């Protein structure tokens, strides 16, 4: 605990992003960050600023979002967790609260993240899946998508697989540690791990892999686009938001 009576805590948060404009606070629109801050402030009685490991867009979900916040309270972490979950809407849950060092930062201290993207193939999709998976009517060539996904692994310039974030960024170079495409029944899961991700990078990579799976692009095209490092064009679409989950963050 700091001399001023505050301490830093780390929250692991899961949420259904359907009803929110995304993680980050935006004027006159509900966000996950704002909801958490308002609830925590109500529990401990003073204003707080919660910092997430990264931003998720409108409609994107999380199983393992991580955030840090400085609090001045005698409540134990388990009591904080229970009090917050009792007040939060049912589409947001704090899964864990732990003490953190004073220099811990949810975004800057992270060295490894995993996103998963879910697709359901076929004529119909079950109603309980509609908000948590992208429905693709055609059968996809999973082996072709696997070959294409392998080309993303390594350190590359991902300029062709990111959208304009409307803010300054230092570099579009990122490292992908693994990119797995699994298939069971009508469901296809894309699981990608990396040191960090650009704005809409995962949805752009998956969007292109889906074009490969449909036969509109060859697996080898990924390598060509990475080598060109040109700004994203129409042949690299963003996959719909509802299939994407921030799965886990490592420190």
Among residues 99, 122, 148, the one where a domain terminates is: 99
Q: Looking at the predicted structure, is the pLDDT value of residue 1 above 90?
A: no
Q: What does the block give as tokens for 171?
A: 């570099």
Q: Looking at the predicted structure, is the pLDDT value of residue 168 above 90?
A: no
* Residue 173 to residues 71, 141, 235, Cα–Cα distance (Å): 35, 29, 20
Residues 190 and 231 occupy one common structural domain: yes
- Per residue in 87-96, pLDDT tens? 999 999 999 9
- pLDDT > 70 in the chain, percent: 98
Structurally, the chain folds into a number of domains equal to 2
Residues 42 and 164 occupy one common structural domain: no
Residues 158 and 238 occupy one common structural domain: yes
Nearest to 20 by CA among 55, 71, 63, 69: 55
Q: Domain with 24 in it: what CATH number? A: 3.30.70.580
Among residues 46, 75, 99, the one where a domain terminates is: 99
Do the domain assignments include residue 33? Answer: yes
- Per residue in 95-148, pLDDT tens? 999 999 999 999 999 999 999 999 999 999 999 999 999 999 999 999 999 999
Do the domain assignments include residue 122? Answer: yes
Give 118's strand partners. 189
Residues 65, 131: Cα–Cα separation, whole Å: 19
In 30-111, DSSP assigns E strands to 51-52, 61-71, 92-99
Do the domain assignments include residue 107? Answer: no
Q: What does the block give as tokens for 114?
A: 């995993």
- For 89, the domain range is 7-99
Catalytic residues: 57
Do the domain assignments include residue 153? Answer: yes
The answer, as to whether pTM is greater than 0.85, is yes
Residues 134 and 243 occupy one common structural domain: yes
Mean pLDDT of 4-15: 94
Nearest to 40 by CA among 4, 91, 90, 79: 79
Among residues 70, 99, 128, the one where a domain terminates is: 99
Residues 121 and 214 occupy one common structural domain: yes
Quickly state the pLDDT bin for 4 (edges 50, 70, 90).
Answer: low
Residues 52, 174: Cα–Cα separation, whole Å: 19
Residues 57 and 81 occupy one common structural domain: yes
Quickly state the pLDDT bin for 2 (edges 50, 70, 90).
Answer: low
Residues 141 and 169 occupy one common structural domain: yes
Nearest to 60 by CA among 220, 190, 227, 244: 244
Do the domain assignments include residue 1? Answer: no
Going by DSSP bridges, is the β-strand pair 112-121/134-136 parallel, antiparallel, or unpaired? parallel
Angle subtended by helix axes 221-228 and 142-150, to nearest 10: 30
- Per residue in 170-212, pLDDT tens? 899 999 999 999 999 999 999 999 999 999 999 999 999 999 9
Residues 88 and 117 occupy one common structural domain: no
Q: Domain with 220 in it: what CATH number? A: 3.30.70.660
Terminus-to-terminus CA distance in the chain, angstroms?
Answer: 21
Going by DSSP bridges, is the β-strand pair 187-194/61-71 parallel, antiparallel, or unpaired? unpaired
Do the domain assignments include residue 34? Answer: yes
Residues 86 and 165 occupy one common structural domain: no
């Amino acid at each position: 605990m700091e001399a001023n009576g505050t301490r830093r805590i780390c929250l692991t948060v899961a949420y259904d992003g359907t009803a929110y404009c995304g993680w980050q606070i935006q004027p006159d629109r509900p966000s996950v960050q704002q909801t958490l801050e308002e609830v925590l402030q109500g529990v401990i009685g003073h204003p707080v600023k919660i910092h997430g490991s990264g931003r998720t867009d409108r409609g994107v979900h999380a199983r393992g979002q991580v955030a840090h916040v400085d609090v001045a309270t005698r409540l134990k972490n388990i009591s904080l967790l229970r009090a917050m979950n009792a007040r939060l809407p049912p589409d947001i849950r704090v899964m864990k609260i732990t003490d953190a060092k004073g220099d811990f930062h949810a975004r800057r201290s992270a060295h490894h993240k995993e996103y998963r993207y879910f697709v359901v193939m076929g004529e119909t999709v079950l109603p309980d899946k509609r908000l948590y998976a992208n429905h693709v009517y055609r059968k996809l060539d999973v082996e072709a998508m696997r070959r294409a996904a392998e080309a993303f692994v390594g350190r590359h310039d991902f300029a062709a697989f990111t959208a304009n974030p409307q803010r300054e960024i230092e570099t579009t170079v990122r490292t992908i540690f693994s990119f797995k495409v699994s298939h069971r029944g009508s469901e296809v899961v894309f699981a990608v791990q990396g040191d960090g991700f650009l704005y809409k990078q995962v949805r752009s990579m998956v969007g292109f892999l889906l074009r490969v799976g449909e036969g509109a692009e060859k697996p080898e095209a990924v390598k060509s686009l990475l080598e060109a490092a040109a700004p994203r064009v129409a042949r690299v679409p963003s996959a719909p938001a509802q299939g994407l989950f921030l799965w886990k963050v490592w420190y």
